[in-house]
């Protein structure tokens, strides 16, 4: 075999080659890059701000009043909790239609134990969570180990768990819960540190949150610089922290002028942070994205696909139970029809928040913003006295447009390849 001089290895790269150091510490192009890098994500934030502003104008500022902001948090918290689990399910390329029924079943379990049997309130919560985990394990088993599509498994679950709810409740509503249980959804931390008409504790938590955000952002920044990674310019970093800080403090200020810090908001915040980190930084979370992005490639990379799918559904069951506790606490009882159609709100939140129909894409924060968009719209239209039928039409159209935007984006990305 003749071995000769190589030809010029001059493959044209698909994108212009930029030395990484050139982007280091430069800020001017960063902002545009920040926006354009993920239009799908940033588009959602822009849409959210626009919708908030729109309804603030349409309702003459009522939608931003302290009382109303508190209301939105209380009213939609359980949907947001469900959306956290749902976005993970959707990233892996599945769907869960049963969460509404699971909310009902877990709430009913808790109500039977606490209201009917007179057991302490915390027994009800633990039992509800246990039922949620069991439901998740059941569905995870069928999806992951038997290989039934999640659509079918959870459609069956929707009927199954609704039926079990009716059985458990014996077809009647139960109420009321003891006051401690009610506090989960309608309790506030107020006046712990005093304050004249405003709650100092809420403001303090707001300050702590902003400080924590700034600190962790700064630490990430330092680490990235240590690893010689491009970072945004320092002024831009400060601007970002200030912007987030202003929004958070405005929010805290409004809450402090209403009833204080809702307990359910604390629960929600803990879940969002925990799941944000899990999806981003844990091996499990990363395998979820890998499975959704390319199942075959993930399998051939040694990802234990079955185990990951199983735990995704166990987790969804757990979060459904958390939502079930919050909902039963908020409605101060358990009803056979509780949680009806919640799955659709949770699914809509995930998709509006940028999750891809084909899997592999989506974020917890995106799903939260998606959920809030739905919440602000529903709430705003209620304030305006828009008819329920119109509300439904508008929500349906928003969901359709959001996914159409996603599909359009993907097609454009595909053609530029």
CA-based nearest residue to 66, from 253, 254, 251: 254
E strands, 142-191, in order: 188-189
Minimum distance from residue 94 beta carbon to another protein (Å): 17
For 4-24, letters b (16+ CB in 10 Å) and e give eeeeeeeeeeeeeeeeeeebe
The CA distance from 207 to 210, in Å, is 5
Minimum distance from residue 216 beta carbon to another protein (Å): 13
Minimum distance from residue 191 beta carbon to another protein (Å): 38
Q: How many CA atoms lie within 13 A of 338 on its CB side?
A: 37
| Residues of this chain, 226-255, that bind another protein according to CB under 8 A | 226-230
**Cβ distance to another protein smaller for residue 17 or 28:** 17
Say whether residue 287 binds another protein (CB under 8 A).
yes
Only one residue has tokens 């948090």, namely 73
CA-based nearest residue to 103, from 156, 161, 152: 161
Give the x/- contact pattern for another protein in 324-363, rule: CB under 8 A: --------------------------------x---xx--
Minimum distance from residue 364 beta carbon to another protein (Å): 16
20, 147, 194, 235: which one contacts another protein (CB under 8 A)? 20
When computed from its CA atoms, the radius of gyration of the chain, rounded to whole angstroms, is 24
87, 298, 322, 323: which one contacts another protein (CB under 8 A)? 298
Say whether residue 389 binds another protein (CB under 8 A).
no
CA-based nearest residue to 99, from 168, 158, 169: 158
**Cβ distance to another protein smaller for residue 4 or 28:** 4
User: 262: part of which helix (H) or strand (E)?
Assistant: strand 261-262
Q: For 197, which DSSP code?
A: S
242, 269, 297, 393: which one contacts another protein (CB under 8 A)? 297
146, 171, 341, 417: which one contacts another protein (CB under 8 A)? 417
**Cβ distance to another protein smaller for residue 99 or 144:** 144
Minimum distance from residue 89 beta carbon to another protein (Å): 18
Say whether residue 146 binds another protein (CB under 8 A).
no
- Which stretches within 294-341 are classed as H helix? 295-299, 305-330
Please return the burial class of 128, using the count of CB atoms within 10 Å of its CB with bins 0-12, 13-18 and 19+.
Answer: buried
118, 147, 235, 302: which one contacts another protein (CB under 8 A)? 302
SS3 327: helix
Say whether residue 23 binds another protein (CB under 8 A).
yes
Peptide bond into 371 cis (omega under 30): no
**Cβ distance to another protein smaller for residue 108 or 312:** 312
**Cβ distance to another protein smaller for residue 227 or 385:** 227
**Cβ distance to another protein smaller for residue 190 or 363:** 363
Say whether residue 283 binds another protein (CB under 8 A).
yes
CA–CA distances in Å: residue 412 to residues 34, 377, 409, 417: 19, 29, 5, 9
Say whether residue 197 binds another protein (CB under 8 A).
no
Q: What is the total count of residues that contact another protein (CB under 8 A)?
A: 54
Say whether residue 117 binds another protein (CB under 8 A).
no
Name the segment binding another protein (CB under 8 A); options: 70-78, 144-152, 184-192, 283-291. Answer: 283-291
CA 414 to the chain's CA centroid: 27
Minimum distance from residue 351 beta carbon to another protein (Å): 16
What is the C-alpha end-to-end distance of the chain, expressed in Å? 37
The CA distance from 200 to 184, in Å, is 21
Say whether residue 282 binds another protein (CB under 8 A).
yes
CA-based nearest residue to 272, from 183, 162, 353: 353
Q: Residues in the site for another protein, rule: CB under 8 A?
A: 1-18, 20, 23, 223-224, 226-230, 280-284, 286-287, 289-290, 293-294, 296-304, 356, 360-361, 413-414, 416-417
């Amino acid at each position: 075999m003749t071995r000769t001089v190589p030809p010029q290895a001059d493959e044209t790269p698909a994108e212009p080659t930029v030395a990484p150091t050139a982007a280091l510490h430069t800020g001017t192009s960063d902002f545009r890059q920040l926006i354009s890098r993920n239009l799908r994500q940033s588009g959602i934030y822009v849409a959210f701000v626009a919708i908030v502003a729109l309804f603030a104008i349409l309702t003459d500022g009522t939608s931003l009043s302290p009382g109303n902001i508190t209301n939105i948090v209380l009213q939609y918290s359980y949907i947001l909790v469900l959306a956290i689990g749902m976005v993970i399910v959707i990233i892996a390329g599945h769907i869960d239609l049963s969460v509404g029924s699971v909310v009902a079943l877990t709430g009913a379990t808790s109500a039977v134990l606490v209201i009917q049997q007179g057991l302490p309130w915390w027994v009800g919560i633990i039992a509800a969570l246990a039922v949620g985990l069991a439901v998740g394990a059941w569905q995870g088993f069928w999806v992951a180990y038997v290989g039934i599509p999640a659509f079918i498994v959870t459609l069956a679950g929707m009927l199954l768990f609704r039926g079990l709810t009716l059985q458990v409740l014996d077809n009647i509503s139960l109420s009321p819960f003891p006051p401690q249980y009610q506090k989960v959804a309608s309790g506030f931390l107020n006046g712990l540190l005093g304050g004249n008409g405003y709650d100092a504790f809420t403001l303090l938590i707001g300050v702590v949150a902003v400080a924590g955000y700034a600190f962790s952002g700064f630490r990430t920044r330092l680490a990235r610089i240590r690893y010689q990674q491009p970072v945004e310019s320092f002024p831009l970093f400060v601007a970002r922290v200030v912007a987030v800080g202003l929004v958070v403090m405005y929010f805290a200020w409004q809450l402090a002028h209403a009833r204080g810090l809702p307990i359910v908001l604390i629960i929600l915040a803990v879940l969002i942070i925990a799941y944000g980190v899990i999806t981003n930084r844990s091996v499990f979370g990363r395998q979820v994205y890998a499975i959704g992005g390319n199942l075959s490639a993930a399998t051939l990379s040694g990802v234990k696909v079955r185990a990951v799918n199983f735990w995704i559904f166990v987790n969804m069951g757990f979060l459904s139970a958390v939502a079930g506790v919050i909902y039963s606490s908020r409605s101060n009882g358990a009803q056979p029809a509780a949680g009806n159609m919640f799955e659709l709100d949770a699914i809509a939140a995930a998709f509006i928040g940028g999750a891809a129909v084909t899997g592999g894409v989506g974020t917890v924060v995106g799903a939260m913003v998606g959920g809030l968009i739905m919440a602000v719209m529903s709430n705003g239209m209620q304030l305006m006295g828009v008819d329920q039928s119109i509300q439904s039409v508008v929500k349906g159209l928003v969901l359709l447009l959001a996914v159409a935007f996603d599909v359009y984006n993907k097609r454009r990305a595909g053609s530029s390849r």
